[in-house]
Amino acid sequence: MNFYGLDIAPWIEPLAQFVFWYPFFMALFWISGALLFSLTREKEEELDLNEREWPLISILIPCYNEEETIAETIEYLDRLTYPNFEIIAVNDGSRDKTGDILVGLADEYERLRVIDCHENRGKANALHMAAHAARSEYLLCVDSDAFLSEEAPYYLVRHFLNRGERVGAVTGNPRIRNRDTLLSRMQLVEYSSIIGSIKRTQRVMGKIMTVSGVIVMFRKKALLSVGLWDRDMITEDIAVSWKLQKNFWDIRYEPRALCWMLVPESISGIWKQRVRWSQGGQEVVLRHFDIFKDWRQRRIWPVYIEQVVSVLWAYAWLIVTVYLFATADTWQDMLIWFTYNSFALVLVSHVQLIISLWNDARYDKVFKYYVWAAWYPVIYWMLNTFVVIAATPKAIRARVKGGYATWSSPDRGARRSSL
């Protein structure tokens, strides 16, 4: 088969091997790392709420078109038992009634302060404003649909108090509230089997790809030292993670700091979310390629390389699939190739899922959603492929264009809790 005069047939076999072995070995890698983290760093321990005088923390909530969730979130946060906190909500030029609702809530809740912006300048800019207004050294950033567990603030801030001055951020453990649809249950499986395993493994390595924007606590001094969040990056959480770690601030993962959130329940909502995530990851790759010039950055090299290789894998999968469709003599040839590869990958993904669910079962009743795992591996890898391809030109344009990275209205699913 020729492509613009280039014979690609000799390249198909090594590409096909790469398409199969990369996710296979990475699944084994995530399994090993998750187990190691769980056995050595995730031991059961009772939290003594009276062990010290807990410092003031500032809870920052950037909002854009959140009229259906923000009042419930503020009410929930205000009831937290943590003894010393303030809430700062920023309305970032919402086109709905978010601003009016927040202004009304400020009269109702003594802890709440509101910054009402009339122009949408993006989540990073909203966080900039909230950080400058915050009275505390410890900034807990949450999304406008976030329900924190009672213990989450204690577990997060304890890292800063006990683990040294180089701790710049601690990311928590997002859990899914809406669990009534196939798409939301599949994402619940994803957050356990993929995201949870990756966070645990990367923390064992010492560097992580990104904090979770829905629940993360920062040391304000660390943020100021790197210029706060990048206003021109579509995913401010990924971008700031790299800035902190390049400047040798430590980022920790605390799985006991739970945060209940809403996830998209439509294909279009998931697509937009994942393209944004992938675009953010690729923007980071384009911006921070210089890490290989500095030997001191070597601990983050594996995270960078894995991100690049995952993008290359998506293009390799597409090339191999198209080639096989175009050259297969019979449908049986296609089915044999796909069946063998799918069986092996589903098997190792299944092992990863069991271990991940075992890890998360101590915090959340996730084992009852085990049956939905059968759908997940195939859909995840196919969706991820097309998401990466769609995000690449967006990332390149964003790096060339610059300017504020604004956000659009998020898909919060059915906007209800099924806990």
Residue 117 lies in a domain: no
61 pLDDT above the threshold of 80: yes
Helix (H) or strand (E) holding 168: strand 167-176
CATH of the domain at 142: 3.90.550
Q: Which pLDDT band, with edges at 50, 70 and 90, does 261 fall under? A: confident
Query: Most confidently modeled of 121-130, 352-361, 407-416?
Result: 121-130
Dihedrals φ, ψ of 187, to 5°? -70, -30
Q: Residue 226's pLDDT is what?
A: 94
Residue 416 lies in a domain: no
Residue 15 lies in a domain: yes
Beta carbons within 10 angstroms of residue 107's beta carbon: 9
CA distances from 187 to 175, 210, 211, 355 (A): 10, 18, 18, 17
Q: How many CA atoms lie within 13 A of 213 on its CB side?
A: 21
Distance between CA atoms of 287 and 303, rounded to whole angstroms? 14
Q: Which pLDDT band, with edges at 50, 70 and 90, does 3 fall under? A: very low
Residue 128 lies in a domain: no
CB < 8 Å & 24+ apart, contacts of 378-387? 378/342, 378/346, 379/186, 380/190, 380/194, 381/23, 381/317, 381/345, 383/270, 383/271, 383/274, 384/274, 384/278, 384/314, 385/314, 385/317, 385/318, 386/314, 387/271, 387/274, 387/275, 387/277, 387/278, 387/314
Residue 110 lies in a domain: no
Residue 392 lies in a domain: yes
| Parent domain of 11 | 1-39+137-402
Residue 78 lies in a domain: no
CA angle (98, 99, 101) in 5-degree steps: 65
Q: Which pLDDT band, with edges at 50, 70 and 90, does 329 fall under? A: low
Write the CB contacts of 343 (distance below 8 Å, at least 6 apart in sequence): none
Q: Which of 72-81, 251-260, 318-327, 328-337 has the lowest mean pLDDT?
A: 328-337
Q: How many domains does the chain contain in total?
A: 1
377 pLDDT above the threshold of 70: no
Write the CB contacts of 408 (distance below 8 Å, at least 6 apart in sequence): 64, 272
Pairing of strands 215-219, 138-142: antiparallel
Token digits of residue 234: 């579509």
Q: What percent of the chain has pLDDT over 70?
A: 83
| Residue 253, strand partner residues | 171
Distance between CA atoms of 110 and 78, rounded to whole angstroms? 9
- The mean of the pLDDT values for the chain is 83
Token digits of residue 252: 């920790």
Q: Which pLDDT band, with edges at 50, 70 and 90, does 175 fall under? A: confident
Residue 61 lies in a domain: no
- In this prediction the pTM is 0.87
Distance between CA atoms of 35 and 350, rounded to whole angstroms? 15
